[in-house]
């Protein structure tokens, strides 16, 4: 049997049954086409009405006014949003004297590609970059582990003490992180159950990152909305709690894992105060902590190159996963503080 | 033993013995709960409790902590720097409100009318949010260079303004911090508003047009009331966020010049960590608890608002 190209279903009028010419593709394909087609239509025709009506848009004067307003807006967004980043990109490969004397000249007197190399090797940006990646990866893993197991236990397994735990987790949402700063620092210095301090270990950053009530509640709420019938069916088929978690619940929760992952990595990349406190050893510090300290003893052009290097990854991640960012921003905004 | 474990009126449920608990999957449930219990226990619940205890103790890590009652709170309230910090934080919050609060709304309303390249608009608006905050501050610190060849002074020089001292002057330092903070945060709020704007029912605009509303009339009488809930939420969130501003004053000015950018969080940090002879952990915790109490009132308000708005 041949796999039909994605174009075929769209060409088939959805009222008619299986296409007679194509032959092999059975009714399964045509139902897929039937489901796909009407979904597209309403968004293009009905939902597209903003503050200015369609009728007004058709008037030349309104259209011209709106177009020019939007062109100005686009220009402003370009300057404000992209401008500083472009400037940083340019200055990263510009000699110090040019940047100091004429910071806004578009064409510098020479291009100093060496800045990037110097920053990467001689200033050890590579090491701090690597630290940042390790810290982000570890925080991500811990957050994912805590959020998914806890969400599963609280939402699917539902022990009697689950309500109390949910309450305790929710309660921490009301406590601003600043209250935790000093006691958490002292806890890391001298953790209970453990001998020795977590200071100057990555665990000091990874583990507290896992205590995110927001993640737990987000995942729990997602699991609450998964169809219970699937769990029942899996149980009837003999799946234990571990199997149910690994083979049924986790594969079904890819979207929420994606959201939590993006938040976790971005938050870790941005974090400054906490890693600065618990990683006083410069060899372990991430970029965000090391950059302000570096400023004092490296040359400006190399410093700007270092800034550019630490901006690349988040910007590229954003451009690649744009949709997830912009959709997730709604959640993220609702949790800060 | 099993007899003792039985609940007195217990014929409705299965009897809970260790064995039935084990057979009912109690142990595996506990295993799944374990990461949460350990991580939250050690790194959230325990420090929260400890914060309360520490605020009424002197803690110096050398001798055993000593109970001092409310002395820490009294010390903090008697510190003249506290009132400077409160005033500065309030000033930061006020400036951020005046400049930073309407901006994302205006941007979002304008952007919601865009027909083509909508994605480009929101991507550009969101880009500053993606830049790591430390990088943004260090970059802007360079932009704020007070000499005539500084980046901003060069630009303003084209229209014969300046040069301004930006961060070096007690009166311009705080507005400079607010400007950078607004740049860094506006995009996130724009995206929230854009999402909210798509849920405004188009029929409402149709109805307003029938009544002869102009574009501004439609914005004022339809869009704004429809966004009321989200506007209140972002308002409270912004207050809570700006009350805890740390990164900008810490990296831009270190609280200076002449303590003009010393904020409450910076003061807490200074109490605990800036003194190389050992921090005053008690005072730092006491102040953070007082700040939290103020913020709790605000977030309580926030939760009430979100609940009443999510039901409607």
Interface test with A, best of B104, B136, B138 (most A CBs within 10 A): B138
Q: What is the DSSP letter of B12?
A: S
3-state secondary structure of B57: strand
| Residue among B51, B135, B300 whose CB faces A183 most closely | B51
φ, ψ of residue B66 to 5 degrees: the values are: -125, 135
Tokens (6 digits) for B20: 């039935």
For the stretch B275-286, pLDDT in tens is 766 688 889 999
Nearest-Cα residue of chain A relative to residue B109: A51
**Structural domains of chain B, ranges and CATH numbers in brackets:** 12-54 (no CATH), 71-311 (1.10.3720.10)
Q: Are A146 and B51 a contacting pair at CB < 8 A?
A: no
Q: Is A174 an interface residue toward B (CB < 8 Å)?
A: yes
Which residues, given as ranges, of chain A have pLDDT below 70? 1-48, 108, 327-337
Task: Name residue B57's beta-bridge partners.
Answer: B67
DSSP line for A83-117:
HHHHHHHHHHTS-HHHHHH-TT-SS-SS--THHHH
pLDDT at site A37: 43
Nearest CB to B121 within list A77, A176, A186: A77
Angular region, A310: left φ>0, alpha ψ -120 to 50, beta rest? alpha
Report DSSP state, residue A15: T
Q: Is A326–B191 a contact, with Cβ atoms under 8 angstroms apart? A: yes
Please, what is the angle between helix B46-54 and helix B281-311, to 10°?
130
Q: What is the mean pLDDT of chain B?
A: 85
CA distance B176 to A1: 67
Which string of DSSP letters, residue by residue, matches A180-232?
HHHHHHHHHHS-TTSSS--TTSTHHHHHHHH--HHHHHHHHHHHHTS-HHHHH
- What is d(CA B71, CA B234) in angstroms, rounded to the nearest whole number? 36
Chain A residue numbers with beta carbons less than 8 Å from the beta carbon of B148 are: none
Judge contact between A3 and A24, C-beta under 8 A.
no
How are the residues of chain A apportioned to helix, strand and coil, as percentages rounded to the nearest 5? 70, 0, 30
CB-nearest to A187 from B42, B234, B288 is B42
Nearest to A274 by CA among B181, B37, B272: B272
In this structure, are residues B51 and A183 in contact, taking their beta carbons and an 8 Å threshold? yes
Long-range CB contacts for residues A131-136, cutoff 8 Å, separation at least 24: A131/A284, A131/A285, A131/A286, A131/A287, A132/A269, A132/A286, A132/A287, A132/A288, A132/A310, A134/A202, A135/A202, A135/A205, A135/A206, A135/A268, A135/A275, A135/A286, A136/A264, A136/A265, A136/A268, A136/A269
Mutual orientation of helices A125-152 and A114-121 as an angle, nearest 10°?
Answer: 60
pLDDT attached to residue A67: 87
Closest by Cα among B143, B102, B8, B51 to A178: B51
Helices (H), B41-150: 46-54, 71-78, 80-95, 102-112, 118-130, 133-143
Polymer length in residues for chain A: 337
Residues 6+ apart with CB under 8 A from A66: A52, A57, B113
Q: Could you tell me whether strands B57-58 and B66-67 are parallel, antiparallel, or unpaired per DSSP bridges? A: antiparallel
Chain A's closest residue to B281, CA to CA, is: A182
Say which of B32, B109, B150 has its CB closest to residue A157. Answer: B32
DSSP helix, strand, coil percent of chain B (3-state; round to 5): 75, 0, 25
Work out the angle at residue B50's Cα, subtended by the Cα atoms of residues B90 and B293, and round it to the nearest 5 degrees.
25
Instruction: Burial-class residue A40 by CB neighbours within 10 Å (0-12, 13-18, 19+).
Output: exposed
Q: Cα(A242)–Cα(B218) distance, rounded to whole angstroms? A: 55
Do A80 and B183 make contact, defined as CB atoms within 8 angstroms?
yes
B9 pLDDT higher than 70: no
Are A283 and A200 spatial neighbours (Cβ–Cβ below 8 Å)? no
Give residue A328's pLDDT: 61
Contact across the interface for A149 and B114, Cβ inside 8 Å: no
- Partners of A85 on chain B (C-beta within 8 Å) are 127, 131
Q: Is A278 on the interface with B (CB under 8 A)?
A: no
**Partner-chain contact A326 B122, CB within 8 Å:** yes
User: What distance in Å separates residue B171's CA from the closest CA in chain A?
Assistant: 24
Q: Does A307 touch chain B (CB under 8 A)?
A: yes
**Torsion sign, CA atoms B258, B260, B265, B266:** negative
Cβ burial A217-229 (10 Å sphere, 16+ → b, else e): bbbbebbeebeee
Chain A nearest-CA distance from B120, in A, is 9
The token pair at B271 is 């109490």
- Percent of chain B whose predicted confidence (pLDDT) is above 90: 38
Residue of chain B whose alpha carbon sits nearest to that of A173: B299
> Does the structure show a pLDDT above 60 at B151?
yes
**Could you tell me which of B139, B151, B129 has the C-alpha nearest to residue A303?**
B139
Across the interface, of B45, B126, B246, the residue whose CB is closest to A326 is: B126
Contacts of A235 in chain B (CB under 8 A): none
Instruction: Judge whether A304 is closer than 8 Å to chain B, CB to CB.
Output: yes
What domains are defined for chain A?
129-334 (1.10.3720.10)
Count each helix (H run) and each strand (E run) in chain B, helices first.
17, 2
Model confidence over B90-120: pLDDT tens digits? 999 999 999 889 999 999 999 988 878 888 8
Sign of the C-alpha dihedral computed for residues A284, A288, A294 and A300 taken in this order:
positive
Residues of A in contact with B158 (CB under 8 A): none
Closest approach of chain B CAs to the CA of A126, in angstroms? 16
Determine, for residues A210 and B43 on separate chains, whether the beta-carbon distance falls below 8 Å.
yes
Q: B309: pLDDT confidence band, cut at 50, 70 and 90?
A: low
Secondary structure class of B9 (helix, strand, coil):
coil
pLDDT in tens, A118-172: 888 888 889 999 999 999 999 999 999 999 999 999 999 888 899 999 999 998 8
- Pick the residue from chain B with its C-alpha nearest to A269: B132
8 Å CB contact of A304 and B237: no
Hey, is the C-beta of A131 within 8 angstroms of any chain B C-beta?
A: no
Closest in A176, A272, A326 to B247, CB measured: A272
For residues B243 and B265, what is the distance between their CA atoms, to the nearest angstrom? 8
Looking at CA atoms only, how far is residue A73 from chain B in angstroms?
Answer: 8
A333/B191 Cβ within 8 A: yes
A102 CB within 8 Å of a chain B CB: yes
CB pairs under 8 A between A and B: 288
Measure A12 CA to nearest chain B CA, in Å. 30
Q: Do B244 and A178 touch (CB under 8 A)?
A: yes
- Return the residue of A nearest to B198 by Cα: A50
The pLDDT score that the predictor gives to residue B210 is: 86
Name the band, by pLDDT with cuts 50, 70 and 90, for residue B15: low
Q: Do B40 and A172 touch (CB under 8 A)?
A: yes
Who wins on pLDDT, A35 or B163? B163
- Cβ <8 Å between A181 and B288: yes
pLDDT for residue A329: 57
Residue B177 has, within 13 A of its CA and on its CB side, a CA count of 32
Q: What is the pLDDT of residues B36-74, one digit of tens each?
A: 999 999 999 999 999 999 888 887 776 778 888 888 899
CA atoms within 13 A of residue A1's CA, in its CB half-sphere = 7
Beta bridge partners of A136: none
- Separation in Å, CA A8 to CA A35, A44, B11: 14, 22, 63
pLDDT, greater one: B8 or A17: B8
């Amino acid at each position: 049997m041949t796999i039909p190209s994605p174009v075929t279903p769209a060409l088939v009028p959805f009222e008619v049954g299986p296409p007679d010419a194509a032959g092999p593709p059975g009714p399964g394909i045509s139902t897929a086409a039937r489901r796909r087609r009407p979904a597209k239509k309403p968004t293009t025709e009905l939902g597209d009405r903003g503050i200015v009506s369609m009728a007004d848009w058709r008037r030349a004067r309104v259209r011209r006014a709106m177009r020019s307003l939007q062109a100005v807006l686009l220009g402003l967004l370009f300057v404000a949003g992209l401008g500083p980043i472009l400037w940083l990109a340019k200055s990263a490969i510009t000699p110090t004297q040019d940047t100091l004397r004429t910071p806004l000249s578009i064409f510098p007197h020479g291009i100093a590609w060496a800045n990037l190399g110097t920053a990467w090797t001689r200033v050890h940006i590579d090491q701090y970059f690597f630290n940042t990646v390790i810290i982000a990866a570890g925080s991500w893993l811990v957050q994912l582990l805590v959020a998914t197991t806890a969400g599963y236990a609280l939402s699917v397994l539902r022990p009697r003490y689950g309500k109390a735990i949910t309450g305790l987790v929710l309660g921490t949402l009301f406590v601003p992180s600043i209250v935790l700063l000093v006691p958490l620092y002292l806890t890391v210095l001298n953790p209970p159950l453990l001998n020795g301090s977590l200071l100057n270990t990555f665990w000091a950053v990874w583990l507290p990152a896992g205590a995110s009530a927001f993640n737990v509640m987000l995942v729990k709420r997602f699991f609450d909305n998964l169809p219970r019938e699937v769990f029942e069916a899996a149980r009837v088929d003999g799946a234990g709690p571990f199997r149910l978690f690994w083979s049924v619940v986790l594969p079904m929760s890819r979207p929420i894992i994606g959201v939590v992952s993006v938040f976790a990595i971005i938050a870790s990349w941005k974090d400054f105060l906490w890693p600065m406190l618990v990683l006083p050893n410069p060899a372990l510090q991430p970029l965000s902590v090391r950059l302000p300290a570096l400023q004092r003893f490296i040359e400006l052009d190399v410093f700007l190159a270092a800034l550019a290097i630490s901006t690349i990854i988040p910007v590229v991640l954003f451009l690649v996963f744009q949709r997830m960012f912009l959709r997730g921003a709604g959640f993220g905004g609702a949790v800060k503080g | 033993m099993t007899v003792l474990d039985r609940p007195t009126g217990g014929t409705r449920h299965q009897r809970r013995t260790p064995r039935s608990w084990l057979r009912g999957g109690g142990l595996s449930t506990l295993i799944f709960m374990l990461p949460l219990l350990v991580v939250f226990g050690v790194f959230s619940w325990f420090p929260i409790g400890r914060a309360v205890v520490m605020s009424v103790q002197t803690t110096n890590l050398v001798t055993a902590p000593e109970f001092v009652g409310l002395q820490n709170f009294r010390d903090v309230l008697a510190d003249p720097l506290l009132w400077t910090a409160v005033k500065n934080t309030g000033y930061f919050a006020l400036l951020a409100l005046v400049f930073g609060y309407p901006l994302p709304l205006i941007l979002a309303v304008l952007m919601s009318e865009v027909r083509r390249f909508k994605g480009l608009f929101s991507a550009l608006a969101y880009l500053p949010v993606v830049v790591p905050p430390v990088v943004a501050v260090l970059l802007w610190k360079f932009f704020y260079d007070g000499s005539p060849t500084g980046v901003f002074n060069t630009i303003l020089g084209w229209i014969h303004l300046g040069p301004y001292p930006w961060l070096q002057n007690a009166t311009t330092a705080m507005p400079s911090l607010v400007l950078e903070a607004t740049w860094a945060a506006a995009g996130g709020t724009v995206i929230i508003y854009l999402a909210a704007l798509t849920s405004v029912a188009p029929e409402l605009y149709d109805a307003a047009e029938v009544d002869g509303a102009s574009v501004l009339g439609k914005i004022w009488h339809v869009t704004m009331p429809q966004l009321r809930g989200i506007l209140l939420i972002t308002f409270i969130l912004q207050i809570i966020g700006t009350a805890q501003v740390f990164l900008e004053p810490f990296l831009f000015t270190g609280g200076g010049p002449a303590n003009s950018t010393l904020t409450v969080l910076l003061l807490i940090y200074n109490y605990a960590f800036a003194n190389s002879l050992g921090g005053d952990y008690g005072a730092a915790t006491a102040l953070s608890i007082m700040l939290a109490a103020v913020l709790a009132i605000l977030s309580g308000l926030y939760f009430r608002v979100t609940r009443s708005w999510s039901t409607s």
